[in-house]
Amino acid sequence: MMRAIVLTTLTGALMMSTGVAQAQTTTPAPAAPAPSASAPTAPSSFTDADLKAFARAAIAANKIQQDAAVTPAEKQPKMLAAVQAQGLDPVKFNAIAKASEADPALAKRIQDAARADPSLAAPAPAAPAADATPAPTTTP
């Protein structure tokens, strides 16, 4: 059940993730895009480490997006920080997100990476609290 929640969260994060850093990348694109090692576009060029980092960043960004306590003005910078905290730049994050939308095999690799990452596992449910009601006493 917890895996389903993680995967649902990841799927939701993937759906919103293509715009996570869009506002941060406002520099004009060159007339002829040059290949860049920091922004691979072929899904096979993403390492397992990239996909684990993407999964962690996407879930963190989704939590920020859903957090009502975070003002709309704060969400974009916080999501960018969450992406960068996982060692990804916004361009690579968005490249993985876009590629995963078009490639079911890549989306499955991301889900598998999320399942295998213990940091994404939900905490075990807390043990039920002991009954705080004192036992009845008998008086002789």
pLDDT digits (tens, 9 = 90+) for 63-92: 999 999 999 999 999 999 999 999 999 999
pTM of the model: 0.62
Q: N- to C-terminal Cα distance for the chain?
A: 52
- Render pLDDT for 46-64 as a digit per residue (tens, 0 to 9): 999 999 999 999 999 999 9
pLDDT exceeds cutoff 50 at 30:
no
Q: At residue 123, does pLDDT exceed 50?
A: yes
Q: How many CA atoms lie within 13 A of 48 on its CB side?
A: 6
pLDDT over 90, % of the chain: 48
pLDDT at 117: 84
Q: What is the pLDDT of residue 24?
A: 44
Name residue, tokens 């499955």: 108
Nearest to 41 by CA among 113, 109, 98: 98
* Tally of residues, the chain: 140
